[in-house]
Amino acid sequence: MQPTTHGHPPGHSVVLTSGRRLLVWAAGLGLSLLIAACTETAGTAASQSGGQATGASVSSQPSGAPAVPLASLSQPTVPSPIGRRAATTVKIELETVEKKARLADGVEYEFWTFDGTVPGPMLRVRQGDTVELKLKNSAKLTHSIDLHAVTGPGGGATLTQVLTGQEAVFRWKALNPGLYVYHCASPIIPMHIAQGMYGLILVEPPEGLAPVDREYYVMQGDFYTVAKTGEPGAQGFAMDKMLNEEPEYVVFNGAGAALTGDRALTARVGEKVRIFFGVGGPNLTSSFHVIGEIFDAVYPEGASEPLHNVQTTLVPTGGATIVEFTVDVPGTYLLVDHSLSRLLKGAVAQLVVTGPEAPDIYQQVSGSSAGTGGH
């Protein structure tokens, strides 16, 4: 499955290297993460991984990129569980703002955001709550909000077409529990979504969700830049690519490999992890998968009834899912869209699990691993 730079007939390499920068960028982003993950798990050094590792050692900084690395947007956090309490009135305030930040290494993009993050803040209320939502527009264009948890025309968008410098407030009752997408719904709607204007709202049932050790918030989105994947510099939006549904970047949380390194998800062996996973789109669905894990429970499309023992779960655009699993073996696991070409466009995150080895579950018996194999 690895996108190797070696050993292919010339015809293949023409396809792969038609954007040489893509290859360099992909090598830095996808391959090194993949190799690092696999070798850490297998307990072998990257230097043992032969030819393929050479590609991965190429700098992830494309030539001509700014000397100072661009900062990614800050990451939204997961609000504390609500648990058992009576229904009440909850006030929420969101502000639309533009932010220039890293989309990929060396690639700057002006995001349109709720509260300066992509995805926007995760909202958490209880079934039966009345939510009073203020939308303040500090951006250049008109923006709005459609929450899929809302019952009413436009999901709030008919009440919140807010001009620049103004604000609007509307009140709605959370009738149905579940995990829902919210997004801007101002014309051209898919363009606003393609700039990063989406997030998740969790409506907890009256009894709350079962406690877990870790909760994480991840959303996939597709981005349409004028220049090709990996071309450095400030990039504008390409309407034609959006209409053709051909993104240059597919990412989790607003940037290629945003949730890796010191922003990786973490857990200890034996802990139960819950991921609130949504797809903003605007166009691509996600075959959400964690390499080396099996979802003990999936609440497909944010529904109330779980499925058990799932490898990959399909998440529609404008949809969300809750996955839960206990981590048993230490190492680095990758979150991906199993339409794996998108890994080369940025859709990868790391879950770093620490703790005692579990050789009864996973161990090498003989041979040395190339470290780039499947899963």
**Which own/partner contact pairs does 302-311 have at CB distance under 8 Å and 24+ positions apart?**
302/178, 302/179, 302/180, 303/178, 304/177, 304/178, 304/205
Tokens of 269: 């062996």
Stretch that binds Cu ion, among 4-12, 113-121, 137-145, 357-365 (CB under 5 A): 137-145
Q: Give the x/- contact pattern for Cu ion in 28-67, rule: CB under 5 A.
A: ----------------------------------------
Shortest Cβ 164–Cu ion spacing (Å): 11
Q: Is 186 in the site for Cu ion (CB under 5 A)?
A: yes
> Which parts of 266-305 interact with Cu ion (CB under 5 A)?
none
Stretch that binds Cu ion, among 47-55, 139-147, 239-247, 280-288 (CB under 5 A): 139-147
Stretch that binds Cu ion, among 42-50, 185-193, 243-251, 279-287 (CB under 5 A): 185-193
User: What's the residue count for the chain?
Assistant: 375
Q: Is 338 in the site for Cu ion (CB under 5 A)?
A: no
Which residue number, 194 or 259, has a Cβ lying nearer to Cu ion? 194
- Beta strands in 154-252, from DSSP E residues, in sequence order: 167-173, 178-183, 198-204, 214-223, 233-235, 249-252
- Residue 204's Cβ-count burial label (10 Å; 0-12, 13-18, 19+) is buried
How many C-beta neighbours within 10 Å does residue 8 have?
14
Report which residue's Cβ sits closest to Cu ion: 184
Q: What is the CA radius of gyration of the chain?
A: 21
Shortest Cβ 329–Cu ion spacing (Å): 43
Give 56's DSSP letter.
H
Q: Is 191 in the site for Cu ion (CB under 5 A)?
A: no
Stretch that binds Cu ion, among 66-74, 180-188, 258-266, 271-279 (CB under 5 A): 180-188
Residue 370 in contact with residue 51, Cβ under 8 Å? Answer: no
Stretch that binds Cu ion, among 135-143, 166-174, 258-266, 351-359 (CB under 5 A): 135-143
Q: Is 127 in the site for Cu ion (CB under 5 A)?
A: no
Tokens of 342: 């998108």
Stretch that binds Cu ion, among 192-200, 206-214, 341-349, 359-367 (CB under 5 A): 192-200
Instruction: Tell me the C-alpha distance between 335 and 349, whole Å.
Output: 5
Q: Which residues contact 253 (CB under 8 A, 6 or more apart)?
A: 75, 76, 118, 119, 218, 219, 259, 349
Q: Is 192 in the site for Cu ion (CB under 5 A)?
A: yes
Which residue number, 56 or 94, has a Cβ lying nearer to Cu ion? 94
Of 288, 285, 284, 303, the C-alpha closest to 351 is 288
Shortest Cβ 197–Cu ion spacing (Å): 5
Instruction: Tell me the C-alpha distance between 288 and 75, whole Å.
Output: 20
Stretch that binds Cu ion, among 11-19, 190-198, 302-310, 354-362 (CB under 5 A): 190-198
Q: Is 183 in the site for Cu ion (CB under 5 A)?
A: no
Question: Is residue 53 classed as helix, strand or coil in its secondary structure?
Answer: helix
Which residue number, 24 or 118, has a Cβ lying nearer to Cu ion? 118
Shortest Cβ 114–Cu ion spacing (Å): 9
Shortest Cβ 92–Cu ion spacing (Å): 17
Q: Are strands 286-291 and 295-299 parallel, antiparallel or unpaired?
A: unpaired
Q: How many residues bind Cu ion (CB under 5 A)?
A: 5
Which residue number, 192 or 241, has a Cβ lying nearer to Cu ion? 192
Q: Is 143 in the site for Cu ion (CB under 5 A)?
A: yes
Instruction: Tell me the C-alpha distance between 145 and 206, whole Å.
Output: 25
Which residue number, 24 or 219, has a Cβ lying nearer to Cu ion? 219
Binding site for Cu ion (CB under 5 A): 143, 184, 186, 192, 197
